[in-house]
Structure 1
Amino acid sequence: MAKILVVDDSSTVRDEVAGFLKKSGLDVATAVDGKDGLEKIKADPSLRLVVCDVNMPNMDGLTMVEKVRGELGNKMINVIMLTTESSPAMKERGKAAGVKGWIVKPFKGEAVLETFKKLAM
């Protein structure tokens, strides 16, 4: 079972982030949007870290996080938003939902690898 879930509607970003993390020795799964991510979180209790985009079809990333915390009652999973979104209002909503960090794209793997490893344990 995976320890990290990468949720992004862009296959390019999803593959880049997941590929980097896998090459770094981490167990990674992927989801194509918030709805898919929520289902994978429900199905895999071993997940410890979610790296998630904000703006996606079907269900955005912040709604997904709110559902993980509210409906699932899961306070243990760590969430990092990886997005082009940088508005203070979005960041506040993320913080209120329990998001641990906010990274503005593009993804720079080496800069966050150690943090991701710690959050995935």
Structure 2
Amino acid sequence: MTKTVLAVDDSPSIRCMVALTLREAGYEVIEASDGQEALDLALSRPVDAILTDQNMPRLDGLGFIRAFRSRPEGKGTPIVFLSTESADTLKAEARAAGALGWMVKPFTQAQLLAVMKKLLG
């Protein structure tokens, strides 16, 4: 069965790179341009994993994770941060909110696929 990944980033080029890489590897990809759109999508259909940026309009990554994790649909879905930021305090906040991991931008396609394989098998 195909695994579905929600890719959340306000940068169209990052979303495109993530989506193309994952689709070529056999994943289904849903795209959202900010945390609010991601929350609406994630609550309307099941997803197997989420990759989210931090700095976005309307609802940032931490806000999205907190809102998603507070809902029954948000239990158990692995979430990985994709961010240009790498401060330990932000990583700690992300973990406390419910993120499983962290990838610093820029990242390679190989890194992205390795993370997804680890998360989803």
Q: Same fold, TM exceeding 0.5?
A: yes
For these two proteins, the number of residue pairs brought into alignment is 119
**1-structure distance, mates of 2:88, 2:37:** 26
Query: Does structure 1 conserve the Cα–Cα contact (< 8 Å) formed by 2:50 and 2:79?
Result: yes
- 5+ residue gaps, structure 2, are none
String of CA shifts for 1:4-62, please: whole Å, max 9, x gaps: 000000000000111111011111110000000000000112x0110010000000011
- Whether contact under 8 Å (1:78, 1:119) holds in the other structure is yes
TM-score w.r.t. the length of structure 1 is: 0.91
Q: Contact 1:33/1:60 (CA < 8 Å) preserved in 2?
A: yes
How many angstroms apart in 2 are the aligned matches of 1:16 and 1:112? 10
1:21 corresponding residue in structure 2: 22
Does 1:9 find its partner at 2:13? no
Q: In the alignment, which residue of structure 2 is the partner of 1:97?
A: 97
- Tell me the residue number matched to 1:78: 78
5 Å-filtered alignment, 1:55-70, equals 55-70=55-70
Aligned Cα root-mean-square deviation (Å) = 1.5
Q: Percent sequence identity over matched residues?
A: 36
Q: Which runs of 4+ in 1 moved over 4 A?
A: none
Q: Distance in 2 between matches of 1:104 and 1:114?
A: 14
Give the alignment's TM-score, normalised by structure 2: 0.91
Gaps of at least 5 residues in structure 1 are none
Instruction: Tell me the equivalent position of 2:112.
Output: 112
Deviation of 1:118 (Å): 4.1
Cα displacement (A) at 1:85: 1.1
